[in-house]
Every structure is written in C-alpha cells, then in structure tokens.
C-alpha cells in the first residue's frame, strides 16, 4: 500500500474562469471550492446531503457539493454564489432576496439562490408549489420560508421583465 495519496489533475470552469487543479481523489467538491479556490460563499451545514447550504450549479443543475468528489467535476462548469453577479451588479435573484427580506442569518442563502437559479432557468413562471419543490432540499432555520417564496416570486417577475 502506498503511504501517500496520488493527486489527480482536473480542469473545471468555475464562475466563468478555467481552473486547473491537482486534487486528492477523496477531496469533496465543496472543499475544493472553499479551500483550494477560496470561494467561501458556498457553505457547509450538515455535510450529509441534508441541508443544501453547499448547493452550487454544475452544468446548470443544482447539486450538493458536499456529496460529490472534486474529481467528478472534471470538465464541468460550476457556478457558485460568487459567480451570480455581473460587473458589480447583483443578479436579479440576489437582489430579490434582499428586497423581499428572504434572508436573516444568511447561512442557507447561497444554496437557496442557486436552487432558485436552477428552477428559474427552466421555468420562468413557477407556481408556489414549483418553488416549494425546487427548494425542498434547502433547509432554512430562520425565515419560515415565506419570504424566501416571495423572493423567488419577485426574482421570477424581475427576470421576466429584464
């Protein structure tokens, strides 16, 4: 048995930037984002696929980055909350969470925004049921979800008008 773990070379596009990294095969995607790339907007809550604080987009789909290895992202496009704003302007989803008071402590918020992004990229007029289903994997301990729903509805309206 070798006593050192061989690193694996991977290439990923993170928030529009191509990145080449060497990662241990056991490194989680969330560890790669937070520790190797310093993108600490992606949070870790449970580390067991329950809370959704670690949600990011992989090739446009919401995934829980604590439940994937970094090597599984080889060749993929990843978007974290840091990648939502453009040229210093908040993304309409980020703005709507602020305007509709869709957050309190904010720990769950990056994950909720990316789940909302996945929903709104496929469905521009989501019903309340659609929204509840889309965020079913994101736990929020503060808001009671009502203002999160309002924020996502507001984001949908604003994105339609944009």
For ligand FES, the binding residues (CB under 6 A) are 44-47, 49-54, 64, 66, 103-109, 140-143
| CB-nearer residue toward ligand FES: 17 or 103 | 103
User: How many beta carbons lie within 10 A of that of residue 124, not counting itself?
Assistant: 11
In the complex, the smallest distance separating the C-beta of residue 63 from ligand FES, rounded to whole angstroms, is: 10
Identify which of residues 130 and 145 has a Cβ nearer to ligand FES in the complex. Answer: 145
Q: How many CB atoms lie within 10 A of CB 18?
A: 9
With 0-12 / 13-18 / 19 or more C-beta atoms within 10 angstroms meaning exposed / middle / buried, residue 3 is exposed
Question: How crowded is the C-beta side of 75, counted as CA atoms within 13 Å?
Answer: 1
Q: How far is the CB of 153 from ligand FES (least distance, A)?
A: 17
Nearer to ligand FES, 44 or 159 (CB): 44
Q: How far apart are CA 79 and CA 44, in angstroms?
A: 16
What is the nearest approach in angstroms of ligand FES to the Cβ of residue 141? 4
Whichever of 63 and 120 has its CB closer to ligand FES, that residue is 63
List, in sequence order, the alpha helices (H) in 6-67.
29-31
Shortest distance, CB of residue 14 to ligand FES, whole angstroms?
18
- The structure tokens 């990662």 sit at 23
């Amino acid at each position: 048995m070798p006593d050192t773990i061989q690193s694996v070379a991977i290439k990923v596009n993170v928030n529009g930037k191509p990145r080449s990294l060497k990662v241990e095969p056991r490194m989680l995607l969330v560890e790669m984002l937070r520790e190797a790339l310093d993108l600490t907007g992606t949070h870790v809550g449970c580390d067991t696929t329950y809370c959704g604080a670690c949600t990011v987009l992989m090739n446009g789909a919401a995934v829980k980055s604590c439940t994937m290895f970094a090597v599984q992202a080889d060749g993929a496009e990843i978007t974290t909350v840091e990648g939502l704003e453009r040229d210093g302007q908040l993304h309409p989803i980020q703005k709507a969470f602020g305007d509709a008071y869709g957050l309190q402590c904010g720990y769950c918020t990056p994950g909720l925004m990316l789940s909302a992004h996945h929903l709104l990229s496929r469905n521009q007029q989501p019903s309340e049921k659609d929204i509840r289903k889309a965020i079913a994997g994101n736990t929020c301990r503060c808001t009671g979800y009502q203002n999160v729903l309002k924020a996502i509805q507001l984001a949908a309206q604003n994105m339609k008008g944009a």
